[in-house]
Structure 1
Amino acid sequence: MLILRMRVFFLLLALALLTLVGNQTVIVLAENATPTAGVVGLQQVVSGLDQPVYVTHAGDGSGRLFVVEKAGTVRIVQQGQLLAQPFLDIRDRVANSGEAGLLSIAFPPDFASQGYFFVYYNHPDHNLAPPPPEDGGVNGGYDTVVARFRVTTNPNRADAASEERILVRNQPYENHNGGLVAFGPDGKLYIGLGDGGSGDDPLNAGQNLNTWLGKILRLTVGVSGPYTIPPDNPFVGRTDAKAEIWDWGLRNPWRFSFDRQTGDLFIGDVGQGAREEISLHPAGTPGGLNFGWDCREGDIAHSTTAPCAGPFVAPIVAYPRSDGQSVTGGYVYRGPTFAAFQGRYFFADFSQGRIWSTQQGVAGWSSKQLELDTSENIASFGEDEAGELYVVAFGSGVLYRLVDTQAPAAALGDSSFTATPSTGVAGDVISYTLALRNTGGATAGAVQVTTTVPSGLTYLPGSLRATAGATDDSALPMLRWQGVIYANQTISLTYQATVGAAPPGALPTTAQIVAPGLPPLSRTATLTIRAPGATTADPDFFLPGTQPEHMIDAIVDPVSCQGCHTTPIYGAWRGSMKSQAGRDPIFWAALHVANQDVENAGDFCLRCHTPRGWYGGRSHPADGSLLEHSDLSAGVACELCHRMIDPQSTGGEAAAVARDAVVRSAISPTLPVDHVGSAMLILDPEDNRRGPFKINPAPPHPKATWRTDFLGQGGDPVIEARVCGSCHNLDNPTLSWNPATARYEPNAENLAAPSFANGDLFPIERTFDEWLYSDYATAQGVYAPQFAGAKADGVVRTCQDCHMPRTTGLAAVGDVNRDCVTNGCLPEHSFAGANTWAPRLLQDARWRLPATGDAIHLNAAILSARSMLQKAATVTIDFDPRAMPRQATVRVTNESGHKLPTGYPEGRRIWLNVRAYNAASQLVFESGAYDPQTGVLADDPQLKVYEAKLAIDDGATVTETFHFVRNNTVLKDNRIPPRGYTVAAFDQPGLRPVGATYVDGQHWDETVYALPADAAVVVAVLYYQTASKEYIDFLRVEGGADGVVLGQMWDDLKSPPEIMAVAITPAQNRFLPLVGR
Structure 2
Amino acid sequence: MPRTLRGLLAVLLVTALCASPAVAQAEPTPIDDPIPEKPTPSGLTLTLEEFASFPKTDTIPPPTDQRLVRWARINYLGELPDGSRRLYVNDLNGKLYFLDKSGGEPREYLDVGATFAPDFISGRGLGSGFGFAAFHPEFGGNGTFYTVHTEWGDALTTKTPDFPPQPGVRFHGVITEWTATDPKASTFSGTRREVLRLGFSGQIHGIQQIDFNPAARPGDQDYGLLYIAAGDGGRGVSSDDPQNLAVPYGKILRIDPSGTNGANGRYGIPAANPFAGRPGALGEIYAYGMRDPHRFSWDPGAGNRLFLGHIGEHAIEAIYDVGAGDNLGWSVREGSFLFNRADRCHLYTLPDNDAEFGYTYPVAAYDHDPPPGHSCTADSGHAVVGGFVYRGTKLPLLHGKYLFGDIVDGQVFFTVAAQMREQTGRRATIHKPRLVDAAGKQVTMQDLAGHTRVDLRFGRDAAGELYVLSKANGKIWKITKAQWTPPDVLPSLRDDLVAAYDFEHPVAGDPAKERDQGLSGTDITLVNGGAAMRVADRAYRGSTHALQTRQVEPATAGNDDWKAGIYGETGVPTLRAFNAVQGVTIMGWFKMQGTGPAPNSNTADPADFFNAIGLAGVLSGNSQGHDVRALLELITVNGELRVVALARRVDGSSSQTFAADRPWQEILQRDQWVFLAATFDFDTATMKLYRNGRPLAGFTTVAGDPWGVEGDPEPDVTSATDPRGIKIGGSYPQNTREQNPCECRMDGLMFLDRVASPGEVRAQYELMR
TM-score normalised by structure 2 residue count: 0.47
Tell which has more relative contact order, 1 or 2 (C-alpha 8 A, sep 6+): 2
TM-score normalised by structure 1 residue count: 0.34
Report the structure, 1 or 2, having the larger strand content.
2
Q: Which has the larger radius of gyration?
A: 1
Report the structure, 1 or 2, having the larger helix content.
1
